[in-house]
Structure 1
Amino acid sequence: MTTDTAKATTYWLEHAWLDTNVEPGVAVDVTGDRITAVRKEVETPPPGATVLRGLTLPGLANAHSHAFHRALRGTVQVGSGTFWTWREVMYSVADRLTPETYHALARAVYAEMALAGITTVGEFHYVHHARGGAAYADPNAMGEALIEAAAEAGIRITLLDTAYVASGLLTESRGEPPNRHQLRFSDGTTEAWAERASALKDREHARIGAAIHSVRAVPARQLGVVAEWASSRRAPLHVHLSEQKAENEACEAVHRCTPTRLLADHGVLGPRTTGVHNTHLTDEDVALLGRSSTGTCMCPTTERDLADGIGPAVRLQQAGSPLSLGSDSHAVIDILEEARAMELNERLRSHTRGHWTAAALLRAATADGHAALGWPDAGAIESGALADFATVALDSVRTAGPLPRLAAETAVFAATSADVRHTVVGGRHVVRDGEHASIPDVAGVLAGAVAALRD
Structure 2
Amino acid sequence: MTAWLLQRAWVDGAVRDSVRVEVEDGVFTAVEPDATRTATPLRGLTLPGFANTHSHAFHRALRGRTQRGSGTFWTWREQMYAVAARLDPDSYFELARATYAEMLSAGYTSVSEFHYVHHQPDGTPYDDPNALGHALVAAAEATGIRLTLVDTCYLAGGIGEPLGAAQRRFGDVDADRWAERVAAIRHDRVGGAIHSVRAVPREQMPTVVAATEGRPLHVHVSEQPAENEACVAAYGLTPVALLADAGALGPDTTAVHATHLTPADIALLAGSDCEVSLCPTTERDLGDGIGPARALADAGVRLSIGSDSQAVVDPFEELRAVEMDERLASIERGRFGAADLLSRATGRIAVGEPADLVTVDLHSPRTAGTGADEHTAVFAAGAADVTQVVAGGRVVFDGDHGRVGRALGTAIERLWA
- TM-score, with structure 1 as normaliser: 0.90
2:134–2:186 CA contact under 8 A, matched in 1: no
> Helix, strand or coil for the counterpart of 2:313?
coil
1:130 equivalenced with 2:96 (yes/no): no
Which of 164, 167, 172 is the matching residue for 1:182?
167
Deviation for aligned residue 1:217: 0.3
Which of 280, 292, 300 is the matching residue for 1:320?
300
> Helix, strand or coil for the counterpart of 1:383?
coil
1:246 equivalenced with 2:231 (yes/no): no
For each residue in 1:291-328, what CA deviation from the matched residue of structure 2 results, as whole angstroms up to 9, or x when unmatched? 11111100000000000000101111111210000110
> RMSD across aligned C-alpha pairs, in angstroms?
1.1
> What is the identity, as a one-letter code, of the residue corresponding to 1:449?
A
Match of 1:33 in 2: 26
2:137–2:187 CA contact under 8 A, matched in 1: no
Q: 1:220-231 counterparts in 2 under 5 A?
A: 220-231=202-213
- Structure 2 distance, partners of 1:442, 1:420, is 13
Which of 219, 225, 236 is the matching residue for 2:201?
219
> Helix, strand or coil for the counterpart of 2:416?
coil
Q: 1:337-348 counterparts in 2 under 5 A?
A: 337-348=317-328
Which of 408, 411, 415 is the matching residue for 1:449?
411
> What is the identity, as a one-letter code, of the residue corresponding to 2:387?
R
1:126–1:163 CA contact under 8 A, matched in 2: yes
2:254–2:275 CA contact under 8 A, matched in 1: yes
> Helix, strand or coil for the counterpart of 2:288?
coil
Deviation for aligned residue 1:213: 0.6
Percentage identity across paired residues of the two chains: 56
Match of 1:423 in 2: 389
Deviation for aligned residue 1:18: 0.7
- Structure 1 distance, partners of 2:97, 2:153, is 24
> What is the identity, as a one-letter code, of the residue corresponding to 1:223?
M
- Structure 2 distance, partners of 1:53, 1:236, is 36
Match of 1:435 in 2: 400
- TM-score, with structure 2 as normaliser: 0.98
For each residue in 1:349-408, what CA deviation from the matched residue of structure 2 results, as whole angstroms up to 9, or x when unmatched? 101111111111111211xxxxxxxxxxxx11000111111111111110011334xx11
2:113–2:149 CA contact under 8 A, matched in 1: yes
- Structure 2 distance, partners of 1:417, 1:168, is 37
Deviation for aligned residue 1:202: 3.4
- Structure 2 distance, partners of 1:281, 1:386, is 34
Q: Would you say how many aligned residue pairs link Structure 1 and Structure 2?
A: 417
1:392 equivalenced with 2:377 (yes/no): no
1:289–1:320 CA contact under 8 A, matched in 2: no
> What is the identity, as a one-letter code, of the residue corresponding to 2:155?
V
Q: 1:104-183 counterparts in 2 under 5 A?
A: 104-170=94-160, 176-183=161-168
Deviation for aligned residue 1:441: 2.2
| Gap regions ≥5 residues in structure 2 | none
Match of 1:286 in 2: 266
1:21 equivalenced with 2:11 (yes/no): no
> Helix, strand or coil for the counterpart of 2:66?
helix
| Gap regions ≥5 residues in structure 1 | 1-7, 171-175, 367-378
Deviation for aligned residue 1:272: 0.6
2:196–2:221 CA contact under 8 A, matched in 1: yes
Which of 34, 49, 64 is the matching residue for 1:59?
49
- Structure 2 distance, partners of 1:22, 1:441, is 31
Match of 1:85 in 2: 75
- Structure 2 distance, partners of 1:214, 1:169, is 10
For each residue in 1:57-103, what CA deviation from the matched residue of structure 2 results, as whole angstroms up to 9, or x when unmatched? 11011111000000000000101000000000000000000000000
> What is the identity, as a one-letter code, of the residue corresponding to 2:190?
I
Displaced runs of 4 or more, over 6 A: none
> Helix, strand or coil for the counterpart of 2:43?
strand
> Helix, strand or coil for the counterpart of 1:452?
helix
1:241–1:277 CA contact under 8 A, matched in 2: yes
> What is the identity, as a one-letter code, of the residue corresponding to 2:390?
V
- Structure 2 distance, partners of 1:415, 1:307, is 25
- Structure 2 distance, partners of 1:305, 1:392, is 26
Match of 2:242 in 1: 262
- Structure 1 distance, partners of 2:279, 2:116, is 18
- Structure 2 distance, partners of 1:320, 1:163, is 28
1:302 equivalenced with 2:277 (yes/no): no
> Helix, strand or coil for the counterpart of 1:268?
coil
1:208 equivalenced with 2:194 (yes/no): no
Deviation for aligned residue 1:276: 0.3
- Structure 1 distance, partners of 2:207, 2:186, is 19
1:103–1:145 CA contact under 8 A, matched in 2: yes
